[in-house]
Amino acid sequence: MHQTFDITVTSRKVLSNFLEKNTLEQLNKIPEGFNNNIIWNIAHIIVVQQMLSYKLSGLPMVISDEMVEKYKRGTKPTQDITQSERDEIQALLLETINQTIADFENKKFQNFQEFTSLSGYTMKNIEDALSFNYYHEALHTGVIMSLMKLV
């Protein structure tokens, strides 16, 4: 699992750089042909990781229910984010994965509820969910890279 966590931490650092190197205007821009923006994709990555790890294990998530409702699958931006929201999302990028690593090492994810993703991959335990998560993060990082060319 250390490799899975290393990949995820590396991914989160790349995402953090996107936040640092772009203005709020760029982060909030929804280019023609897209349903969302850079910041939505980054926050969505955080939300999905929390849902896959904590919610499916019957544990409280590190993030708020409001964040889940705003960035879960099927949502799209309804208003621009503020600087303080950007800062919170940036902090959560590493805080959430660091907490997940600690909780995994402390064996907190014992009651995982089997779940099949929209792509058809069935996660039977926390290890499956964490492995699937970095696939999900890579998909959205690709979307972000496409958005970067248009903002």
Q: Is the confidence at residue 117, as pLDDT, over 80? A: yes
Residue 142's closest CA among 27, 3, 14? Answer: 14
The predicted-structure confidence for 26-59, as pLDDT tens digits, reads as follows 999 999 999 999 999 999 999 999 999 999 999 9
Residue 57's closest CA among 101, 112, 96? Answer: 112
The Cβ-side half-sphere exposure at 67, using a 13 Å CA radius, reads 21
User: Distance between CA atoms of 79 and 147, rounded to whole angstroms?
Assistant: 18
The stretch 6-17 carries a mean pLDDT of 95
The stretch 79-106 carries a mean pLDDT of 97
Residue 1's pLDDT band (cuts 50, 70, 90): confident
76 CB contacts (<8 Å, ≥6 apart)?
Answer: 35, 36, 40
Q: Where are the domains of the chain?
A: 2-148
Question: What pLDDT was estimated at residue 135?
Answer: 93
Question: What pLDDT was estimated at residue 46?
Answer: 98
2-148 folds as Four Helix Bundle (Hemerythrin (Met), subunit A) (1.20.120)
H or E stretch at 122:
strand 122-123
Hey, is 116 helix, strand or coil?
Answer: strand
The stretch 66-83 carries a mean pLDDT of 96
Q: Is the confidence at residue 2, as pLDDT, over 90? A: no
